Amino acid sequence: MFFPEYRPRRLRKNENIRSLVRETIITVDDLIYPLFVCEGKGVKQEIRSMPEVYRFSLDQLIEEVKQVVELGIKAVLLFGIPDKKDEVGSSAYAKDGIVQKAVRTLKEKFPDLVVITDVCLCEYTSHGHCGIIKNHTVDNDATLEQLAKIAVSHAKAGADIVAPSDMMDGRVGRIREALDEAGFTDVAIMSYAVKYCSAFYGPFREAAESAPQFGDRRSYQMDPANIREALREAYLDVQEGADILMVKPAMPYLDVIKTIRQEINHPLAAYQVSGEYAMIKAASKLGWLDEEKIMFESLIAIKRAGADLIITYFAKKVAQTLAKR
């Protein structure tokens, strides 16, 4: 059927008709809110390159989470900024480590909130790499043992889901084994299965003080040029026992999201990362883009590509905006 019999504009006539035929919507149920937590009291420190994103001490974290829970957000993803760093990142699995304390506090105050923890070493190591350094390189198998300890320590604190973001080979399987051995068979794993070595993480590294002190992450994070490799990574994580897969970054990698969605039936998350957020914020601040519109359009695009869940620094703002509609 062609024009004039078929006129696509008929279904665009007004908002009610448009909403009837709309294929994709964003709701608060889709959103995971990332939060940075640090030691101290009364700290709510804005991150320079991420306006309206803060480092929170525990007392301030509670205030923030109270608001987002009231807005209907169901899940948070925690990143820790420890006071002490060392060669092996031991504060990442300390019983009174910053994330462990945050998880305990949040689960106590908000028992229904889904608490997800980032499992990685880069915020905790003095060299800023995501693993143990041996012979000037990140040693895969030695790192697996550290990651297993971190995941179990998060589970002990009460985490519902652990999210390994290190990109070591075999980490999902090793973490699953360690969680099960420790009796945490019902703690889920959301794996950063397809994590590219991306310059879009720049602002995050400022926020988390986790930039590598030498070299870069290209020997463990994926080459942005590859998509077949993304599928190999995703299949491996499924085999190793991942419950949710993640693609990261999101918007520049919509083809990857779509491919994984078509090939694999696991729930799929996408991470709209710090650089994506910072670009939108910066352009909006200059008056070059409409922040609210771009925020929704970017998230719709990510969901349309096939993501079930979206991790975004805009989560609170989206929830606030939806609540007003």
Q: Specify whether the CB–CB gap between 77 and 116 falls below 8 A.
A: yes
Q: Does 10 show up as a binding residue in the annotation?
A: no
What count of other Cβ atoms lies within 10 Å of the Cβ of residue 264? Answer: 17
Identified binder of ligand PBG from the candidate list 31, 58, 122, 270, rule CB under 6 A: 122
182 residue type, one letter: A
- Select from 2-10, 149-157, 201-209, 290-298 the region that touches ligand PBG (CB under 6 A): 201-209
Q: Does 120 bind ligand PBG (CB under 6 A)?
A: yes
For residues 274 and 298, which CB has a smaller minimum distance to ligand PBG in the complex? 274
- The nearest distance, CB 87 to ligand PBG, in angstroms, is 17
Least distance CB 258 / ligand PBG (angstroms): 21
Question: What contacts 114, CB < 8 A, 6 or more positions away?
Answer: 74, 75, 76, 160, 161
Among 200, 122, 126, smallest CA distance to 164 is for 122
**CA distances (Å), origin 80, targets 74, 116, 322:** 20, 12, 29
Residue 57 binding ligand PBG, by CB under 6 A: no
* Closer by beta carbon to ligand PBG, 107 or else 205: 205
Q: Does 205 bind ligand PBG (CB under 6 A)?
A: yes
Give dist(CA 189, CA 179) in Å, integer.
10
Q: Decide: residue 16, CB within 10 A, 0-12 exposed, 13-18 middle, 19+ buried.
A: exposed
Residue 152 sits in the site that holds ligand PBG (CB under 6 A): no
- Is 205 part of any known ligand binding site? yes
Write out the binding residues for 5-aminolevulinate: 205, 217, 274, 313
Binding site for ligand PBG (CB under 6 A): 118, 120, 122, 130, 165, 201, 204-205, 273-274
Write out the binding residues: 120, 122, 130, 205, 217, 233, 274, 313
